[in-house]
Amino acid sequence: MTTPAPTPFGTRLRRAMDERGPLCVGIDPHASLLADWGLGDDVAGLERFTRTVVDALAGRVAVLKPQSAFFERFGSRGIAVLERAVADARDAGALVLMDAKRGDIGSTMAAYAAAYLDPTSPLFSDAVTVSPYLGFGSLRPALDAARASGAGVFVLALTSNPEGAEVQHAARPDGTTVAASVLAHLKAENAEEAARGALGSYGAVVGATLGATADRIGAELAIDGPLLAPGIGAQGATPADLPQVFGAAVRNVVPSVSRGVLKYGPDASALVEAAARMADDVRAVAE
């Protein structure tokens, strides 16, 4: 009996965005945020924080995005907390985007892909963030693994940190910027799904804080895939900025907020209310 092909990530993401609103909430257990919640900067505090966020939001928001580094710093016990968070969030209906920003070549990139994009892995996620700055072709193991498992990738393109411009805005010999080249590669990866009228599974990370340079982006954002937009909240951007930055592509934007929601914890109902307000604000500008 032939096993049916998995539903592509882009299709599942569009469904989740339509049903729950286009919002991604980061799970970023900074030491300072743990302290604000009255928790210790230890594995017990990490676990309490993570369970609270997952229990409150996994049944309500489209995407949860754990930042792997904040779990890795506690070693194997922190990774165990992360594994449970991934499983619990997916069981509750949220898509999990692992914010790992991995990037390497050859067998090492293949091993990263196996960690996050192989359904047999305890860290298997619906999508993962990756870095293309060893060349877009170095991402091929992750792209192929995502295609095989129905997962997605989000590739760093125009990030919200100001330091990123020295690489991302650099021009190639033909005058094309590095970021534009990354976006063009993603559009090509999404061509098959776009031909079926579906949202592609290969997305870009484009900061919501790029309003001042929006006129330099233009049609390059039409990659036929999702656009993860960090920078809302603590970094200064608001949902109202999204149409200026993303233009006609705003419907494919997945705004990402972390501290703007997490600061309302540890009260679960306050987290729910903050996420709902943000989702409503995003929905209003995306429609």
Residue 79 lies in a domain: yes
* pTM reported for the whole predicted model: 0.95
Give the orientation angle of helix 43-57 with respect to helix 75-91, to 10 degrees.
10
How high is the pLDDT of residue 160? 82
CATH number, domain of 171, equals 3.20.20.70
Residue 20 lies in a domain: yes
How high is the pLDDT of residue 240? 86
What burial class does residue 186 get, using C-beta atoms within 10 Å of its C-beta: 0-12 exposed, 13-18 middle, 19+ buried? buried
d(CA 99, CA 133): 16
Residue 175 lies in a domain: yes
Tokens 């305890």 correspond to what residue?
A: 122
CB atoms under 10 Å from CB of 260, counted, come to 21
Residue 2 lies in a domain: no
Q: Where are the beta strands (DSSP E) in 42-184?
A: 63-66, 95-102, 127-130, 152-158
Identify the domain containing residue 192 by its residue range.
9-284
How high is the pLDDT of residue 35? 98
Residue 3 lies in a domain: no
Residue 228 lies in a domain: yes
Residue 1 lies in a domain: no
How high is the pLDDT of residue 157? 95
DSSP 8-state class, residue 204: E
Give the three-state DSSP class for 232. Answer: strand
Give the three-state DSSP class for 76. Answer: helix
How high is the pLDDT of residue 271? 98
Helix, strand, coil distribution of the chain in percent, nearest 5: 55, 15, 30
Give the three-state DSSP class for 30. Answer: coil
How high is the pLDDT of residue 162? 85
Residue 101 annotated among the catalytic residues of the structure: yes
Residue 198 lies in a domain: yes
Joined tokens for residue 198: 């579906």
Task: For the chain, 287 residues long, give each residue's pLDDT as a single digit of tens.
Answer: 567 889 999 999 999 999 999 999 999 999 999 999 999 999 999 999 999 999 999 999 999 999 999 999 999 999 999 999 999 999 999 999 999 999 999 999 999 999 999 999 999 999 999 999 999 999 999 999 999 999 999 999 998 888 998 999 899 899 889 999 999 999 999 999 999 999 999 999 999 887 655 455 556 888 999 999 998 876 778 888 888 888 888 999 999 999 999 999 999 999 999 999 999 998 888 77
Joined tokens for residue 159: 């990030």
The three-point CA angle 176-154-273 to 5° equals 125
Tally of domains within the chain: 1
Sign of CA dihedral 99, 265, 256, 85: positive
